[in-house]
Structure 1
Amino acid sequence: MAAIRYLKGDATSPQAKGVKVIAHVCNDLGGWGKGFVLAISKRWPEPERAYRAWHRDRARNDFGLGAVQFVQVDPYIWVANMVAQRGTRPSKKNGPPIRYEAVGTCLTALAEKAKSLDATVHMPRIGCGLAGGKWSKIEPLITTRLTAHSIEVTVYDTD
């Protein structure tokens, strides 16, 4: 089993050879405009366009908590738009927007895609920014769904 590798740096500039998948958490409202998605959009327009179209057409597709959209942005780079955040604000009844069960479901789909592409996975500390999640709950999901299946994962912390 591989361990999660932690690096200081930018997850939109993955440090590895071969095919790479950059994973991040999206909300279920179709909103794209704060947090890590800004760094993605600054580098590539395709993931935002694809996400907005996916949300707009949600009555005819799988858009919703636990769904993942894979967008190829370069011959060797894919972006995984993972819907694992209910709304954008915490609520008194349901707590922060992150939904850990949806994170787990997304990571399972990510593992399948990474295996099929023979890819490494790169991400910020998903779900721990605007989504309000705790890394102590996310990290074990990454371990059981990805690294336990020999998928190399690099988590990037900004300076």
Structure 2
Amino acid sequence: MTGNTGISYVKGDATAPQGKGVKVITHICNDLGGWGKGFVVAVSRRWPEPEAAYRKWHRERARNDFGLGAAQFVQVSEWLWVANVVGQRGIRTGSKGAPVRYEAIAAGLGRVAAKAEELGASVHMPRIGCGLAGGTWSRVEPLISERLTRRGIPVTVYDH
């Protein structure tokens, strides 16, 4: 089902994206270097490379662009990439609210859009920012529509 946002919603597993051509699976990471809960567990069950790349990116952050709003692209097969988007500050809800950072997600999605255009790829994701990050879909969905589907990039969101 596609709403007026241009996003297609399907039941299924975002680590097994549907359709033809090059695909970019997009998910949200935290800014602490932690990887071990939520969607990343499913990613790591299929491919070791995204977690290894993320951990190295975080470890060497003094010499790279790691931080809120950054995106790292890891090729896991000929037609498939995983985008590690840093869109979460820390890992637990505290005095500053939930860990989700909408502006960082928006910036990261802009980077995903540029990569998808370069690859001629479609973008696939769970409801990013709405699990452990504590965000709400009503705030994330417009960011996807603004940064991706308005640029003509096909987006599929998977509900497990």
TM-score, normalised by the number of residues in structure 1:
0.97
* Residue 110 (structure 2) aligns with: 108
Counting only pairs closer than 5 Å after superposition, residues 1-159 of structure 1 correspond to structure 2 as 3-92=6-95, 94-158=96-160
SS in 2 for 1:55: helix
- Aligned residue for 2:15, secondary structure, equals coil
In 1: Cα distance, 2:157 partner to 2:75 partner: 20
Q: Secondary structure at the match of 2:42?
A: helix
Contact 1:124–1:155 (Cα < 8 Å) also in 2 = yes
Q: State the number of aligned residues.
A: 157
Q: Which runs of 5 or more structure 1 residues have no equivalent in the other structure?
A: none
Report deviation, 1:16.
Answer: 1.1
Ranges of 4+ aligned residues in structure 1 off by more than 2 Å: none
What's the offset of the Cα at 1:80?
Answer: 0.1
Q: TM-score, normalised on structure 2?
A: 0.97
Identity score, percent: 68
